[in-house]
Chains A and B, each alone.
Chain A
């Protein structure tokens, strides 16, 4: 087969997804809220990439917030510390900037790992069906039904307090949702003609699954999963806040709020004297999650077959 021919074939194969992408972009443009969501996410991607320039690291581990000399109280925003400092003189600006990287890292890692597990288990359950399917699905039912934060707390308690274990707990809690989604897509695809055709010409199960079914079904699942990043970062921040996540002094938004919990009352002259210690990291978490949720809201409408018109 000549390269030219292959290229043409590739183009023809891509046509539906190009059309789909154009359709989605068109729909996104119509909704100002989702554009706003994208703007927020792009802003945070910018911060994450430019972190070393915005807040140059001084310690060996850039995710540890540099500490300065001792003061008993948090220090208000100044030229040197644009967002002020916490009680341990951790620079809040540095913490929030590098915390953006942590947030993306947590979100992407958890989504990717849960999706990978979900893909494998979902394929096995959906493609082979029968008793394996039944057992796997009942197991996922239990995890999905269980309050996720409670389960995550129990898992982190068992594994030990650390950010890595928070990630692991979130993956263990998160994979069943994607498993169900992928299983559903595969069940639908199994009825399609192209799968029948692939089987009829003698393609192996493995080939049918990975060369035919998955490339045709994975697309919406990946989108839905990546939009969960907001919710995942929110749960991770909650676990950090509860004290189960990163060690003290780590550039982690939830952690910064935990530290400032002692300072919410301010002083007798000014009850809001230390507002910057908890308001600023909170705004970072809130807007980050809001961006993903706004985008997610628009996408759920786009992907909903009952709402789309062509």
Chain B
């Protein structure tokens, strides 16, 4: 099977998964009363007076399968309802907040992978030495730390104590400049916009604000990679081709980096699903603790204020994001490792 047919097949596989996710969300919707569900179809707060008509028009008392089709058709036409916490439609609210979330994970994901793989490799190559013990202890500690607490403690130490690495996305003065007409917001991702506008001041300010959230998010997810990378590296180092490579006189470093590590990386890829889920969970916590107005905080805020369309929109959005992340990883790996697309 060629790469192209693999990608096509993988794309087609998304359809049942997407239907599954909508079914799951639909199941959650059914936990609400018809009056609450009617809020999903309201586009304007003034429509609340007509709530009985909405229940009738959208058949919210109808049998489940009919309701599912009605809900799906609304979904496909891009209507997720009106969010009273954001004072706009759910779709708009999500689009406005997504860049903040991207900016956060844009730094955290590569850091987690690079540091996690590195620690896993040195842990395996120094098995049962002091480095290994330290790495394993640190990763199990990171795994047990309540992320929200870690965030709070980091803020208290660095911002509270030393006045560095403030929470939120930008300082007030920079925020005012960024929202002014002088600054063009291409992507709404502050670091990228700052670069595009040629304004390093904005970039530096945004980066300062990103340090602690990124550390928190990385700490949450890194243990997973270290653990799997270590065991798969240990397994790879015991393989015949490693002994062979060493026997033919290759340097140890060469063998570890080129032969063992490459093969050991493959099991880490199967983690990508877990990792994506861990990041999405982490984003919710990190954004809340650091007061970053992203998708995660929007979802929590909606849940606290009984903003049903927003909660469901947020859940659906997370689900879709998650599927897309998995798809991209799968395609990337089919490209890298021919065994995956052939197998």
Contact = CB atoms under 8 A, between A and B. Distances in A.
A and B: partners? Answer: yes
Contacts of B149: 257, 278, 282, 285-286
A149, A243, A265, A271 interface centre (most CB from chain B within 10 Å): A149
B87 to A, nearest CB: 19
A238 B147 contact: yes
A150 B315 contact: yes
A290 B139 CA distance: 11
A6 to B, nearest CB: 45
B34 to A, nearest CB: 13
Given A243-B304, A286-B144, A290-B141, A146 B156 contact: no
A146 B140 contact: no
B60 to A, nearest CB: 15
Interface residues of B: mostly helix, strand, loop or mixed?
helix
B20 A142 contact: yes
Nearest to A266: B160
Interface stretch (B46-54, B116-124, B177-185, B306-314): B306-314
10 contacts: A141-B20, A142-B23, A145-B273, A147-B318, A154-B314, A155-B28, A157-B308, A238-B147, A278-B156, A285-B146
B146 A154 contact: no
A116 interface: no
B281 interface: yes
B17 A142 contact: yes
Interface residues of A, number: 48
A257 B150 CA distance: 11
A294 B31 CA distance: 38
Contact of B146 (A148, A161, A234, A243): A234
Interface string A217-248: 00000000000001000100110011110000
Contacts of B300: 153, 242-243
Interface residues of A: mostly helix, strand, loop or mixed?
helix
Interface of A: 33, 138-139, 141-143, 145-151, 153-159, 161, 230, 234, 237-238, 241-244, 254, 257, 261, 264-266, 271-272, 275, 278-279, 282, 285-286, 289-290, 293-294, 297
B170 interface: no
Given A149-B285, A242-B303, A293-B144, 4 more contacts: A142-B24, A156-B303, A237-B148, A278-B149
B146 A237 contact: yes
